[in-house]
Amino acid sequence: MDALWDPAMKPALALRFPGLTPDQLLEAHSYAYGGAIIQDMGYYPFGSHAFSDLVHYVRSGDFVVALLREANTPDEYAFALGALAHYIADSYGHPMAVNHAVPMLYPKLRRKFGDTMTYEDNPTAHLKTEFGFDVLEAAKQRYAPDAYHSFVGFHVSKELLERAFEQTYAIPLSSLFANVDLALGSYRYSVRSLIPEMTKAAWHAKKDEIRRTIPSMTARRFTYTMSRASFEKEWGHSYERPGLGARILAFFFRLVPKVGPFRALGFKMPTPQAENLFLESFNATVEHYRERSNEVRANNLRLPDRNLDTGDAPLEQGHYRLADQ
């Protein structure tokens, strides 16, 4: 996200809404963060897997285009630009990096699935691998904390989301959720509060492994950088050591199978070869986002409807189980 904000998102906002004040841009930035993870909202507590499955596998490009087309305010437009970042990051990050890194890190799975594994082959291994990339990049401080000092929130454009979703899929968003407001609230809470606590627990559970990779890393540096880079929320200033809650979580995670969003804490540190794949996919994502943002500014954006797990165009029934469902 932050590699894209200044060179691509801000110029698009400035062209569509000239004269935005610094405060308005700051608020829009928080909506861009909300949009950047919105396709995953259904996987959070009280969410709807049907929602996230649709926007990942069915008319995924049309959904993002609808968000951009229907955006009427700077905040809504920033939210849509964030969703575009998710679409592009998945389109390149999964096929170029994660789908190859998973079998590298998990040899038993490699023997079963081969050198390429999609999310449906083993969702838990994918989640662990992505979290491991976040841990490594934060430990190497490739995420710059200074870029987040002005960040003030994490917001969702509910009305835009409802309009664009119904236009794309011809069903109301509310038909997929027991309570949309509850789902959105849980999504925001998870990203802003629960997941940062998992980050502190990750340090406590994996600090020896992290230090073997980055000998100079400390708890203070790691928890600060990770919370900013991966979870877009400054949750406090007690960085010296994990709190009691994080220690209890870390102990609990060692004893029980990793389930739900906590499965990521069983991650393995990426190998240098896997890290190179990540960096290549990151560079490709930035390059393609800049190209697409030029099309956005020229009002001629066209996005193919990809399967965001594989980066491919949707296939016929029987090729990808999660899309079939």
At 227-279, the pLDDT tens digits run 444 433 333 332 233 344 444 444 444 444 344 555 556 778 889 999 999 99
Picking from 120, 1, 99, the residue whose alpha carbon sits closest to that of residue 53 is 120
DSSP assignment of 141-203 equals T-S-GGGGTT-------HHHHHHHHHHHHSS-GGGG-S-HHHHHHHHHHIIIIIHHHHHHHHH
24-28, 125-129, 161-165: range with highest mean pLDDT: 161-165
pLDDT, residue 137, reads: 72
Of 73 and 209, the structure prediction assigns the larger pLDDT to 73
Percent of the chain at pLDDT exceeding 70: 75
pLDDT, residue 91, reads: 96
Predicted confidence (pLDDT) at residue 155 exceeds the cutoff of 80: yes
**163-172, 177-186, 218-227, 248-257: segment of lowest average pLDDT:** 248-257
pLDDT, residue 199, reads: 64
Reduced to 3 states (helix: H, G, I; strand: E, B; else coil), residue 253 is helix
